[in-house]
């Protein structure tokens, strides 16, 4: 056995050593933190859910971002500096999302972060960028508190996705108007049994009651997420015979519910309000989409019904041979804000770009009037197209969407923020 | 707990018909998957944790055949044959290498196959969920019976699954091949010593397990979303069925699949948020009363 004598380190020498390492690191070791690079590619770290059952979220959103980056690079970049996306799979795990984003900043020398995480991942990323000070654009998290709650907000993080609070106001006001028109008194709800399902349903009912206080609420059903069989839910609806059903099921779960409900003629027996149906990858996947289902718009090329929106969808289909999703436009918009910031400052410095993003208005095919604003007060987007329409069984599936008035959204959102103690 | 709703349902003909039919539909699909799992365990003494992925492959194979031929029956047959063939290859090239290994090695290998198959499905069919859609033959209004709505497709599913169960029973209990399978399940080494080609038999058994899982995937494809990873939920339920029925018992799998189907169906009325828990509760009760499962021939 060899000699294993202990070496003692003097405290002062230790402190000196640490100080020296910190200084070297500050100057050269962690350049992303202390200084922006002025040469070489502009690196943007993209963490997304690229595997598992919601891999579509990652693939369709990264596609949206790639379209914007390709256009930027093709036009010459920033004085010849191209954007390089470093895309990594967080597998839908918040701890993995946090680790990946730390690596983007500390190891990969990324200038900024494009977070394509669902809400749980987005909150983990928010804490990383708050600590390290790197510019971050959250694109897909719809949880309002991420930017509405001043305790969670940080000056270097923004959101380019829709918000749950906005959607709830839009849904409640639309559903109440149909309820009055068609005398829909008895309601049921069906939501996936996790935070999103409960929050969305509660917020919807809150605003439905606000606009139409005389509704009666029957059973609230909570099938588990990714449940393959909805027969028990369907049977309960058939037994209870409501006038209207609200559901926030989405994606494959909603598709299964509709396919199985069709077998019972379910959609002829009540009015259905599906907040997440109007996305082509869902509507086109349901092979026999019933006519007359009410849905909030996720992404449809008919709303906003402008030539740029139709052209954007056509270009997406040409490049990726699939239809864009709600997540595609949110990521494309997030990337557009970052690029506009880069152009406006002539720099890839996150701090400088974060300084010009609040209040920025960009031309966008997804804006209700052709523009979208990054609202300064809470660093989130407003004036994007949000509304409700009715399905038809053939393309374009939802030909008309009734837009929700943003004045109404602002008014009720402010009341909600006061209620929550955010303002 | 809403016992009044359950009492109301039991006293209503329409509710009884609806819930019983739902239970049978759920149970029969579970049986097809669980019977393959049980068969493989009975003969090979291998717990095929990748069996849910066989079901997923069956659904995707059926989708592809249906898209090409627009014939649902060909799609189901294609799914059965495709997954059966995959089962044979799985045995020949992978499972064969771990016979006699401990259960951790089985778990490791199966889990690797699950991940690989999920990724292959994603590469070939894409990450988006897909839907086959209801074949035209079954796009008819539901039958009204005793005030209940009975979807024609679900009637077909139940009849088809019963027919498959009957065929499987006949194959195992009444044919020479069945005798060989039972002999190998009882004592593989002795069967080999008596001249039975157990190597071939093992491949065939995994192939047959694959056929059953493929049939389940193909039959369910019109009403379930197809997505990478879809095999995991049915795998867990199939394990519950297999454990309750007794590992290795086809009859046990049949009976316990119906029990689980009806538990889900009627339990959903009393405790809609605890239907999964109810399944486990049934399993726990069975394991306490008869630890080797209801129809196992092993000693408790």
Q: Is residue B296 part of a domain?
A: no
Same domain, yes or no: A244 and A277: yes
Q: Is residue A228 part of a domain?
A: yes
Residue contact B149–A224, C-beta within 8 A: no
Q: Which domain holds residue A93?
A: 42-163+307-382
Same domain, yes or no: A312 and A354: yes
Q: Is residue A51 part of a domain?
A: yes
Q: Which residue of B has its CA nearest to A192?
A: B273
Same domain, yes or no: A364 and A411: no
Phi-psi region of A79 (alpha: psi -120 to 50; beta: other; left: phi over 0): left
Same domain, yes or no: A227 and A290: yes
Helix (H) or strand (E) holding B143: strand B143-145
pLDDT above 90 covers a percentage of chain A that reads: 81
Q: Which two tokens stand for residue A169?
A: 């106001």
Q: Is residue B121 part of a domain?
A: yes
pLDDT per residue over A159-169, tens digit each?
A: 999 999 999 99
pLDDT per residue over A237-286, tens digit each?
A: 988 899 999 999 998 899 999 999 999 999 999 999 999 999 998 998 88
Going by pLDDT thresholds of 50, 70 and 90, the confidence category of residue A30 is very low
Query: What span, in angstroms and rounded, lies between the C-alpha atoms of B300 and B290?
Result: 6
pLDDT per residue over A40-76, tens digit each?
A: 999 999 999 988 778 889 999 999 999 999 999 999 9
Q: What is the mean pLDDT of chain A?
A: 91
Same domain, yes or no: A270 and A138: no
Per CB-CB distance under 8 Å, the chain B contacts of A53 are 227-230
Same domain, yes or no: A66 and A140: yes
CA separation, residue B187 to residues A307, A309, B106 (Å): 73, 68, 20
For the domain that residue B90 is a member of, what is the CATH number? 1.10.3470
Residue contact B18–A238, C-beta within 8 A: yes
Per CB-CB distance under 8 Å, the chain A contacts of B138 are 263
**pLDDT, one tens digit for every residue, chain B (300 residues):** 677 878 888 888 888 998 899 899 999 999 999 999 999 988 888 889 999 999 999 999 999 999 999 999 999 999 999 999 999 999 999 999 988 888 899 899 999 999 999 999 989 998 888 899 999 999 999 999 888 889 999 999 999 999 999 999 999 989 998 899 888 888 888 888 888 888 899 999 999 999 999 999 999 999 999 998 899 889 999 999 999 999 888 899 999 999 999 998 888 788 877 888 899 999 999 999 999 899 876 655
From A283's Cα to the closest Cα of chain B, the distance in A is 11
Interior/surface letters B147-180, b for 16+ CB within 10 angstroms, e for the rest: ebbbbbbbbebbebbeebbeebeeebeeeeeeeb
Dihedral pair phi/psi, residue A296, rounded to 5°: -75, 150
- Cβ–Cβ < 8 Å for A90, A97: yes
Predicted local confidence at residue A285, as pLDDT: 85
Provide the CB-side half-sphere exposure for A231 (13 A, CA): 27
Same domain, yes or no: A211 and A297: yes
Query: What span, in angstroms and rounded, lies between the C-alpha atoms of A280 and B300?
Result: 55
Helix (H) or strand (E) holding A272: strand A271-279
Same domain, yes or no: A51 and A105: yes
Predicted local confidence at residue A28, as pLDDT: 42
Going by pLDDT thresholds of 50, 70 and 90, the confidence category of residue A33 is very low
For residue A421, pLDDT over 90 is answered with yes
Phi-psi region of B278 (alpha: psi -120 to 50; beta: other; left: phi over 0): alpha
Predicted local confidence at residue B7, as pLDDT: 85
Same domain, yes or no: A338 and A271: no
Per CB-CB distance under 8 Å, the chain B contacts of A232 are 22, 264-265, 268-269, 272, 275
Q: Is residue A24 part of a domain?
A: no
- Closest partner residue to B26 (CB to CB) among A231, A236, A238 is A231
Same domain, yes or no: A315 and A282: no
Number of structural domains found in chain A: 2
Same domain, yes or no: A185 and A287: yes
Same domain, yes or no: A321 and A284: no
Residue contact A232–B131, C-beta within 8 A: no
Q: Which of residues 111-130 of B touch A (CB under 8 A)?
A: 118-119, 122, 126-130
- Closest partner residue to B142 (CB to CB) among A58, A227, A264 is A264
Interface probe for A, chosen from B62, B127, B137 (most Cβ of A below 10 Å), is: B127
User: In the structure, how many helices (H) and strands (E) does chain A have?
Assistant: 15, 15
Query: What span, in angstroms and rounded, lies between the C-alpha atoms of A230 and A193?
Result: 13
Q: Which two tokens stand for residue B71?
A: 């014939």
- Cβ–Cβ < 8 Å for B240, B283: yes
Q: Which domain holds residue B55?
A: 3-131+141-289
CA separation, residue B198 to residues A394, B37, B81, B87, B151 (Å): 55, 18, 22, 16, 44
Write down the residue that tokens 């910031």 correspond to: A341
Q: Which two tokens stand for residue A235?
A: 């049977």
- Contact status of B224 with chain A (Cβ, < 8 Å): yes
| Beta strands at A371-375 and A361-363: parallel, antiparallel or unpaired | antiparallel
Predicted local confidence at residue A36, as pLDDT: 58
From A177's Cα to the closest Cα of chain B, the distance in A is 31
pLDDT per residue over A211-220, tens digit each?
A: 999 999 999 9
| Contacts (Cβ under 8 Å, ≥6 apart) of A189 | A201, A204, A205, A217, A220, A221, A245, A246, A247
- Closest partner residue to B22 (CB to CB) among A52, A235, A252 is A235
Predicted local confidence at residue B25, as pLDDT: 93
Predicted local confidence at residue A27, as pLDDT: 42
Q: Is residue A423 part of a domain?
A: no
Dihedral pair phi/psi, residue A403, rounded to 5°: -70, 145
- Cβ–Cβ < 8 Å for A47, A358: no
Helix (H) or strand (E) holding B156: helix B152-174
**Sign (positive/negative) of CA torsion B56, B38, B286, B216?**
positive
Predicted local confidence at residue B167, as pLDDT: 94
Q: Is residue B250 part of a domain?
A: yes
Query: What span, in angstroms and rounded, lies between the C-alpha atoms of A285 and A399?
Result: 17
Predicted local confidence at residue A10, as pLDDT: 54
**Sign (positive/negative) of CA torsion B21, A246, A403, A420?**
negative
| Contacts (Cβ under 8 Å, ≥6 apart) of A246 | A171, A175, A187, A188, A189, A190, A201, A204, A205, A208, A273, A275
Per CB-CB distance under 8 Å, the chain A contacts of B226 are 252
Q: Which residue of A has its CA nearest to B154?
A: A263
Q: Is residue B298 part of a domain?
A: no
Q: Which of residues 318-357 of A touch B (CB under 8 A)?
A: 322
Going by pLDDT thresholds of 50, 70 and 90, the confidence category of residue A16 is low
Query: What span, in angstroms and rounded, lies between the C-alpha atoms of A69 and A332?
Result: 9
Phi-psi region of A421 (alpha: psi -120 to 50; beta: other; left: phi over 0): left
pLDDT per residue over A103-138, tens digit each?
A: 999 999 999 999 999 999 999 999 999 999 999 999
For the domain that residue A329 is a member of, what is the CATH number? 3.40.50.2300
pLDDT per residue over B6-42, tens digit each?
A: 888 888 888 899 889 989 999 999 999 999 999 998 8
Q: Is residue B119 part of a domain?
A: yes
Q: Which two tokens stand for residue B121?
A: 């499905």
Number of structural domains found in chain B: 1
pLDDT per residue over A358-404, tens digit each?
A: 999 999 999 999 999 999 999 999 999 999 999 999 999 999 999 99
The whole-angstrom distance between residue A268's C-alpha and the CA centroid of its chain comes to 32
Predicted local confidence at residue A394, as pLDDT: 93
């Amino acid at each position: 056995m060899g000699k294993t004598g202990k070496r003692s380190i003097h405290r002062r020498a230790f402190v000196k050593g640490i100080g020296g390492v910190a200084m070297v690191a500050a100057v050269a070791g962690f350049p992303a933190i202390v200084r922006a690079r002025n040469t070489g590619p502009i690196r943007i770290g993209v963490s997304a859910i690229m595997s598992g059952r919601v891999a579509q979220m990652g693939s369709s959103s990264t596609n949206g971002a790639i379209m914007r980056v390709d256009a930027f690079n093709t036009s010459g970049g920033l004085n010849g500096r191209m954007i390089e996306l470093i895309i990594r799979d967080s597998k839908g795990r918040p701890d993995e999302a946090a680790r990946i984003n730390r690596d983007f900043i500390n190891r990969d020398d990324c200038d900024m972060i494009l977070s394509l995480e669902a809400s749980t991942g987005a909150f983990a990323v928010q804490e990383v960028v708050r600590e390290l000070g790197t510019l971050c654009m959250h694109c897909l998290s719809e949880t309002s508190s991420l930017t509405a709650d001043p305790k969670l907000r940080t000056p270097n993080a923004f959101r380019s996705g829709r918000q749950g609070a906005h959607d709830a106001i839009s849904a409640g006001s639309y559903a109440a108007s149909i309820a009055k028109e068609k005398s829909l008194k008895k309601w049921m709800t069906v939501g996936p049994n996790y935070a999103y399902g409960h929050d969305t349903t509660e917020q919807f009912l809150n605003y439905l009651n606000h606009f139409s206080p005389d509704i009666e609420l029957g059973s609230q059903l909570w099938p588990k997420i990714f449940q393959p069989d909805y027969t028990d839910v369907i049977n309960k609806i058939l037994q209870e015979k409501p006038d209207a059903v609200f559901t926030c099921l989405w994606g494959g779960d909603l598709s299964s519910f509709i396919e199985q409900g069709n077998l019972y003629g379910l959609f002829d027996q009540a009015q259905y309000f599906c907040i997440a149906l109007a996305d082509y990858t869902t509507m086109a996947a349901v092979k026999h989409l019933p006519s007359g289902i009410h849905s909030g718009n996720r992404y449809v090329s008919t709303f906003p019904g402008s030539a740029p929106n139709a052209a954007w969808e056509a270009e997406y289909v040409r490049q990726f041979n699939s239809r864009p999703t709600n997540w595609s436009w949110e990521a494309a918009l997030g990337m557009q804000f970052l690029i506009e910031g880069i152009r406006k400052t002539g720099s890839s410095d996150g701090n400088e770009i974060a300084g010009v993003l609040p209040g920025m208005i960009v031309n966008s095919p997804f804006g209700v009037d052709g523009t979208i604003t990054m609202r300064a007060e809470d660093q989130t987007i407003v004036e994007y197209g949000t509304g409700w329409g009715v399905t038809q069984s053939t393309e374009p599936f939802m030909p008309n969407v009734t837009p929700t008035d943003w004045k109404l959204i602002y008014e009720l959102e402010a009341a909600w923020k006061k209620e929550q103690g955010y303002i | 707990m809403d016992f009044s709703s359950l009492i109301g349902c039991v006293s209503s003909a329409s509710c009884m018909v609806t819930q019983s039919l739902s239970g049978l539909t759920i149970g029969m699909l579970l049986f097809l998957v669980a019977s393959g799992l049980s068969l493989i365990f009975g003969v090979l003494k291998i717990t095929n944790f990748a069996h849910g992925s066989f079901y997923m492959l069956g659904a995707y194979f059926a989708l592809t055949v249906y898209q090409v031929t627009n014939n649902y029956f060909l799609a189901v047959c294609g799914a059965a044959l495709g997954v059966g063939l995959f089962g044979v290859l799985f045995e020949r090239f992978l499972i064969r290498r771990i016979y006699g290994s401990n259960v951790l090695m089985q778990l490791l290998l199966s889990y690797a196959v699950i991940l690989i198959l999920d990724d292959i499905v994603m590469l070939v069919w894409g990450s988006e969920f897909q839907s086959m859609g209801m074949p035209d033959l079954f796009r008819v209004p539901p039958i009204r019976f005793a005030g209940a709505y009975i979807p024609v497709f679900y009637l077909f599913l139940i009849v088809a699954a019963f027919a498959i169960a009957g065929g499987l029973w006949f194959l195992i209990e009444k044919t020479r091949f069945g005798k060989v399978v039972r002999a190998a399940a009882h004592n593989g080494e002795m069967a080999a010593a008596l001249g039975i080609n157990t190597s071939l038999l093992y491949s065939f058994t995994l192939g047959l397990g694959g056929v059953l899982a493929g049939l389940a995937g193909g039959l369910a494809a019109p009403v379930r979303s197809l997505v990478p990873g879809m095999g995991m939920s049915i795998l867990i339920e199939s394990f519950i069925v297999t454990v309750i029925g007794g590992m290795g018992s086809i009859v046990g799998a049949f009976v316990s699949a119906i029990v689980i189907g009806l538990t889900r169906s009627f339990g959903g009325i009393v405790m809609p948020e605890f239907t999964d828990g109810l399944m486990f509760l049934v399993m726990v009760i069975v394991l306490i009363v008869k630890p080797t499962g209801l129809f196992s021939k092993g000693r408790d």
